[in-house]
Amino acid sequence: MTIDAHQHFWHYSPQTHEWINEEMQVIRRDFLPNDLAPVLRANGIDGCVAVQADQTDSESDFLLNLAAEHDFIKGVVGWTDLKSPELDQKLEAYKQNPLLKGFRHIVQGEPDGFMTDPAFITGISRLNGFDLSYDILVFSRQLYEVCQLIKQLPEMRLVMDHFGKPDIKAGEFNLWKKHMTELSAYPHLHVKLSGLVTEADWKHWKLSDFQPYIETILELFGPKRILFGSDWPVCLVAASYEQVLEIVNWYIEKLSMQEQAAVKGLNAVRFYGL
């Protein structure tokens, strides 16, 4: 089974989606399952994981409702307030829906220290008791905090979105690699091969731009801990779905067929329990 482990749906709103700036005009519209379904079919993708793009409980409900209506949406990574005193009750309610697989917070938009707040770490750790995973979304400058965070979360399923978001356009590499090397030592941390093109030069990226990053991820994490994700529709600001998939295929073709199948779907099935 091939799985796109990272994509989004939304009803576009200038207020809710204020992060979609003028340069991202192409995604200033609604993106819903009927838009994605033909794209997945055309590219031989069997299903997807829908990931939150808004930090409200209603966002989780929105995605779960879509997943209930469209069977190609195999799971949902939602949002809830991980610092809430009612967190356990919320998780108990969410866990009644088998399509809810985990949660994410957009930490890349938070100030330094947010991720290492004991209340936030405790909230993430509570997910483990409900068999839920956590997606880590940070900029590369925040990876040093992820290194602190993961030491306090030794036993739960964690996945790094967009392989830690190095600034590919600026050529950032050494410090990113240092942190990712440290993080790769934790066997319960997976990484998503996603968000490639949006960290590169949107208008002028080349296939070779991604080589040091993808090869590093393959070397550090190996094919058993890497999940393919398109980051559709955000990827459309810099590339088509076909181009995103082509980049991944180009760099994993040296793997065995079994390893390629793992990266392109089987790891996501296992990690999220699809």
**H helix runs in the chain, sequence order:** 33-42, 57-69, 87-94, 118-128, 143-151, 174-184, 211-221, 241-252, 257-261, 267-272
Kindly indicate the confidence band of residue 61, based on its pLDDT and cuts at 50, 70 and 90: very high
- d(CA 61, CA 228) in angstroms, rounded, equals 25
Domain membership of residue 230 as a residue range: 3-272
Q: For position 206, what pLDDT does the model report? A: 95
Q: What is the CATH number of the domain that holds 194?
A: 3.20.20.140
Condensed to tens digits (0 to 9), the pLDDT of residues 166-175 reads: 999 999 999 9
* Chain centre to alpha carbon of residue 89: 26
H/E stretch holding 112 reads: none
Tally the domains of the chain.
1
**Above 90 in pLDDT, residue 155?**
no
Contact indicator for 229, 159 with CB cutoff of 8 Å? no
Query: pTM of the full predicted structure?
Result: 0.96
